[in-house]
Amino acid sequence: MNIQNFTITDIIEGYKKKEFSVGEIVNSYLERIEKLNPTLNAFLTVDKQNALKKTEGFGSNLTIEQFKNFPLLGVPFGIKDMFLTRGVRTTAASNVLKDYIPPYSATAVDRLESAGAISLGKLNHDAWAHGSSGENSDFGNTLNPWNKDYIPGGSSSGSAVAVAASLSPFSTGTDTGGSIRLPASFTNTVGLKPTYGLVSRYGVISMASSLDSIGHFSKTVRDSAIILNATAGVDGYDATVTDRAKEDYTKDLEMGIKGLKVGVPKEYINEGLSPEVKQTFENSLKILGKLGAEIIDITLPHTDAGIAVYYIIQPSEVSSNLARYDGIRYGNDRSFFGKEAKRRIMLGTFTLSSGYYDAYYKKAMQVRTLIGNDFDSAFKNVDVIVSPVSPTPPWKFGEKANDPLAMYLSDALTVTINLAGVPGLAVPAGFSHDKLPIGIQFVGPHFSESLLFKVGHSFEQETKFYKELAHLE
C-alpha cells in the first residue's frame, strides 16, 4: 500500500469506502517506520505493541455513525516526546528523563485518542524543546528527508519529519518561539501554532510557560483544522485555557479570500532575507492577489526588539521550569543536562537574580506588552498578516551549531507571534534552487484559527506545493 500521499481525509474516506482496514493502515505506517526511521531518527520510541493492540478493536465494517462520534477513527499519529503518555516512555529528548514512564497522558494526547486516533510512538526533538535546528537532542539528530545534509528545523524536528517522510499522517508539536512553524517551513508540511490559551498545556513538559503553544503538523490545512477540532478547549487542568464555545474549524475552508485585507509588515521584509526566501515570498503575495486578497503594507514597530525580549523571558521561565529536575523524585540528576539547557538555565537565572530583575526581565515584559499592542493595532486595519517563516532556507548540520546568536536569530520572524499570543499557520510556499522547502506564515488576531485555515487552504489549493514529496525510496 502506497501511503506517501495519504492525508487524514484520505484515510477516513478509504475506511468509509472499505478500501482498506485500520489494521492495514497501521501496519503500513509501522513498516515504513521500521524501514526509514533508522536513518531519519524521527521516532525515539515506536509503540508498536499498543498500536497493533488498538487495531484489534476496529472491525472491517466501520459505520458513518462511528466517524461522527470518533472523527479521527483509526488514524495513526506521532507524539512529540514533550507530551506525557501514560505507560509509554517520555524523555523530553534529554538523558535526564531517558527512562521516565509517566502515570498519565497530556490532555491533547487524551483528546486525540478519544477521537479515535492511534499513537505510533514518541518523536525526537531538541532536548527540552530548546532549539531551532533539531541539533540539540541527546539522542541524535533527526535528518531532513528532503536532503539529509540539512537540518529539519526545531525544536519539533521529529514531528515535522515524521509527516514529511510519511511515517505518520500527522503529529503533535509545541511552539514556544517558532518550534512548529520553522520545521514545517523546512520540511514542506503544514504547522499550526494556535492562540495561547486555546489548547491545554496540561501534561506537556513546560519549556516557557507563558509562551508554550500546543499545536501540530499535517500534510494539508484541512487536516490541521480536523486535528484542532479534537484538541481545542478547556479541560479543567490548565487555567490559562479560555472557555470558548466549541467551533468547527473546517466549516469556512472553501469560502475563498476575495476582498480579504492581508498585511505585509515592512520590518519582516528586510536585508536579512535570503534572495530565495524573498523571491518565494513575493511570488506568494502575487498568488494571494490573484485569489482576490488586497495586499496592504503595515508596520510592527517593535519587531527589532523581539529576539532580545524573547531570549530574556524564555530563559527566565526555562530556569524556573527546569529547577524541578533534581534527580530526587524521578529522572537523573542535573549533571545529565546538555549544553543548551545549561546555557538557558544560566541566562535565565542571571536575568531573574537580585539587582538584574528590573534591568532585564521587567523591562523585557514591558516591551512584550508593546509588541502585543503592535499586533492589536495592525489588526484594526488588516484581517491577517503574512510573512516568511525563516529568513533563510534550511542550513547544513553544524553550520550554526557553535554560534548560539546566529542560531537564535533564525527565530527572528516567529518569536513575536508567541510574545503576542496570537495564532500562526505555516504552509508550504515553494523551494530553493537546491530543492529545499520554503514556507510562509499567516498570522491572525487572537482565536482567529478558522480565518487562518480559510486563507491557508485557499493558498494551498492554488499552489499545490503540498503534493510535492521527499524522495526516500
Q: Which positions are catalytic?
A: 80, 155, 179
Residues with Cβ within 8 Å of residue 45, at least 6 apart in sequence: 81, 88, 89, 91, 121, 122
Q: Please count the other Cβ atoms lying within 10 Å of the Cβ belonging to residue 37.
A: 21
Cell 509545541 appears where? Answer: 174
Residue at 409: amino acid letter: L
Give the three-class secondary structure for 451. helix
> Could you give the residue ranges of the DSSP H alpha helices within 259-338?
275-290, 306-321
- Report the alpha-carbon distance of residue 361 to residue 350 in Å, rounded: 10
- Report the alpha-carbon distance of residue 353 to residue 214 in Å, rounded: 30
CA dist 126 → 316, 409, 444 (Å): 18, 17, 27
**Residues 312, 316, 319: CA angle, nearest 5 degrees:** 140
Dihedral Cα 291, 294, 295, 301, nearest 10 deg: -140
Which residues sit opposite 121 in a β-bridge? 46, 78
- Do residues 57 and 171 touch, judged by C-beta distance below 8 A? no
Cis upstream peptide for 209 (omega within 30°)? no
Give the three-class secondary structure for 81. coil
Q: Which three cell numbers stand for residue 92?
A: 523530553
* Closest among 283, 302, 213, 272 to 440, alpha carbons compared: 283
Per-position DSSP letters for 375-417, written without gaps between them:
HHHHTTT-SEEEEES-SSS--BTTSSTT-HHHHHHTTTTTHHH
- Do residues 194 and 213 touch, judged by C-beta distance below 8 A? yes
- Report the alpha-carbon distance of residue 226 to residue 62 in Å, rounded: 19
Beta-sheet pairing, 261-265 with 384-388: parallel
What DSSP state is assigned to residue 195? P
What DSSP state is assigned to residue 142? P
